[in-house]
Structure 1
Amino acid sequence: MLSTARLLWAYRDFILGSAKREFQSKYRNSLLGATWTIIQPLAMIVVYTVIFAQLMRARLPGTESTFAYSIYLCAGVITWGFFAEITSRAQNVFIENANLLKKINFPRLCLPVTLVFSASLNFTIIFSLFVIFLLVTNQFPGWVFLAIFPVLAIQALFAIGLGMTLGVLNVFFRDIGQLFSVILQFWFWLTPIVYPVEILPESLQKLMQFNPMASIIGAYQKILVFGHWPEWNHLWLPLALGLILCFWGLRLFRQNSGELVDEL
C-alpha cells in the first residue's frame, strides 16, 4: 500500500495535469463552459422540488423552514451525484483509455486517481454554490457543518473502492458495466434522497441500515437540514465496505495488471 502511494506521489504532476486537461477539454468549444456542471443537478433539483414539494405537498417532520425540502433534496442529490460520477466513470476508465494504456508506459492506477480528482473538482464547484445558497437564505448549520468532511471522506473511500473494483472486473466481463448502470438507477430510488425515510413502513426503514448510501446521505441531511451532528455509529457499514473494497480492488488490480492491456 505504501509503495503504491509513493508511486502515485511520484506521478502527481501527471495526475494533476491529466485532471486539468480533462476538465478543459470537457468544456472546449462550449459557450457556457463549466456552467454545464451546474445545470444538470440544478435542473434535477428544480424538477423534484416542484413535483414533490409542491404537487405532492411533501413535508419533512420536525422542520419549519420553507427551504427545508429544497435543502434536503440538494444535500442528497449533489452528494449522490459525486458518488455516481466516480463509480459510473470508474467502471469504464480502463476501457475508455485503452489506446493510452497500449502506447504509454505509466502506472495504470493513475487513471482512477485522475478520475477522482476530476469528479472532486466538479463536486466542489456545485457544493460551493449550495453553501452560498445556505448562507444567503440564513440556513447555514453553523459549526456542525465541519462534520461534512469526515462523512465526505467515508463516501469517497466507498466510491473509490467500489469504482476501482468495477473498473477491473468490467475489463474482463463487459456485462458488469451495463448491469451496474441499471443497479445505480434502482439504488438512487432505494435511498431516501427525494423522500424522507419516515414515510416508509417500519420494516423498510429497518432495511435501510443495510444500504450504505442511505447512512451516508442521511448523515448529510441531518447536518444540513436539521443542524445536528450525524450518528457516527450508523456510518460503520460504509466505512468498513470502503476499506474492504479498496483493499480488494487494489489486490484485484495487481493480480490482473499484466492481463489488463491484453483484454482491452
Structure 2
Amino acid sequence: MILTSSRSVWNYRGFILGNVKREFQSKYRNSLLGAAWNVLNPLAMIVVYTVIFAQIMRAKLPGVDSIFGYSIFLCAGVLVWGYFAEIVGRSQNVFIENANILKKINFPRLCLPVVVVANATLNFIIVFSLFTAFLLISGNFPGMAYTALLPVLIIMVMFAVGLGTTLGVLNVFFRDVGQLFGIVLQFWFWLTPIVYHPDILPKVVQSYLRFNPMSAIVAACQNILLHNQWPHWQSLLPVTVLAVLLCIIGLALFRKHAGEMIDEL
C-alpha cells in the first residue's frame, strides 16, 4: 500500500515541484522583503522570548550562564517547533483548501501533503541555514553531533505528516477538528520545553513529559546545538513508533475515504 502510493507520487514529481515553485513565488509576490519574512517572523518571536525570559531561564539551564546560550537553546526549540507546526497546520486544511483542484484534476491526492512538506522544508532550510551560519561565525558550531539533526528531523517530519494527514482527512468530514486542533497546538507549544528547561518543572510534571512526542525531539535538537551532545536514541523510539503508526493510519483513512472526500468538499 505504501509502496504503491510512493510510486504514484513519484510519477507526479513534476506536478509537485511546479506547485512548490508556484506557491513560493505567489507567497512573496509584491513583497519588498520577499523570503526575508521567513527569517523575520521567527526572529521576532525569539527576540521577544529572549527579552522576557532570558534573565529568568538562563540560570535554570544546565551548563549555561549567558543570554547567548539561552538564545541558542531557544532558537533550536522555536525553529524546530515552527517546522512541525507548519506541516501539521497546513496538512490539516490541505484537502479543503484545494477542493477546486481535487474536483477538476485527476492526480494522486497524496501529492498535496507532499507539497506541504516540501514548502515547509524549503522555508525551514532558509531559516536554519542562517542560524547555522550564525553558529559558525560566532564560534558556537556544535561539531560532528550536528549531523544527528538529520535523523531527528526526519522522525519529526514523519510524525507531523502522519498526524497532519490523519487530521486532514477527519477535517473534511468534521470541520470542528481543524478549529479544535488550532487551540490544541497553542497549548502544545507551552507544554513542550521550548522556552524553559524541563528541570524547572516539578518532578511529577516532568514525568508526564515523556507522553509529549515533541519533548524528546526538541530536547534532542537543543542538546545537539547547545551542548554538542548526540541524542539519546532510546528516548526517540516512542515518537518514532508513533510516527510510523500515524503515517499508516493517515494513509489508510485517506485510501478508505478518498471518494467520499470529494463529495464532502
State the TM bucket, normalised to the shorter chain: over 0.9
- C-alpha distance in structure 2 between counterparts of 1:132 and 1:96, whole Å: 36
1:159 corresponding residue in structure 2: 160
1:216 corresponding residue in structure 2: 217
- C-alpha distance in structure 2 between counterparts of 1:5 and 1:174, whole Å: 28
1:106 corresponding residue in structure 2: 107
| CA deviation string 1:223-254 (max 9, x = no partner) | 01111111111001110110000000000000
| CA deviation string 1:185-208 (max 9, x = no partner) | 000000000001110001111111
- C-alpha distance in structure 2 between counterparts of 1:195 and 1:65, whole Å: 14
1:58 corresponding residue in structure 2: 58
Contact 2:158/2:243 (CA < 8 Å) preserved in 1? yes
- C-alpha distance in structure 2 between counterparts of 1:202 and 1:86, whole Å: 32
SS in 2 for 1:58: helix
TM-score for the superposition, normalised by structure 2: 0.97
- C-alpha distance in structure 2 between counterparts of 1:249 and 1:235, whole Å: 21
Matched AA of 1:163: G
Gapped regions of structure 1 (runs ≥ 5):
none
- TM-superposed CA distance for 1:63, in Å, is 2.3
Contact 2:102/2:262 (CA < 8 Å) preserved in 1? yes
- C-alpha distance in structure 2 between counterparts of 1:65 and 1:177, whole Å: 40
Question: Larger deviation: 97-106 or 42-51?
Answer: 97-106
After TM superposition, the structure 1 = structure 2 runs for residues 119-130 of structure 1, keeping only pairs within 5 Å, are 119-130=120-131
Contact 1:63/1:226 (CA < 8 Å) preserved in 2? no
- C-alpha distance in structure 2 between counterparts of 1:36 and 1:64, whole Å: 31
SS in 2 for 1:33: coil
Give the alignment's Cα RMSD to 1 decimal: 0.9
* Distance 1:107-1:137 versus aligned 2 partners, 3 A rule: same
SS in 2 for 1:188: helix
Structure 1 stretches (4+) deviating beyond 4 angstroms?
none
Matched AA of 1:221: Q
SS in 2 for 1:80: helix
1:179 corresponding residue in structure 2: 180
- C-alpha distance in structure 2 between counterparts of 1:260 and 1:162, whole Å: 18
Contact 1:142/1:227 (CA < 8 Å) preserved in 2? yes
- TM-superposed CA distance for 1:58, in Å, is 3.4
- C-alpha distance in structure 2 between counterparts of 1:162 and 1:262, whole Å: 23
- C-alpha distance in structure 2 between counterparts of 1:222 and 1:150, whole Å: 14
| CA deviation string 1:198-223 (max 9, x = no partner) | 10001111111111000000000110
Contact 1:79/1:217 (CA < 8 Å) preserved in 2? yes
After TM superposition, the structure 1 = structure 2 runs for residues 16-95 of structure 1, keeping only pairs within 5 Å, are 16-54=17-55, 56=56, 58-59=58-59, 60-64=61-65, 66-95=67-96
- C-alpha distance in structure 2 between counterparts of 1:150 and 1:203, whole Å: 30
Q: Kindly tell me the number of residue pairs found equivalent between the two proteins.
A: 263
- C-alpha distance in structure 2 between counterparts of 1:237 and 1:180, whole Å: 22
Q: Is 1:207–2:208 an aligned residue pair?
A: yes
- C-alpha distance in structure 1 between counterparts of 2:37 and 2:205, whole Å: 36
SS in 1 for 2:58: coil
- C-alpha distance in structure 2 between counterparts of 1:157 and 1:174, whole Å: 24
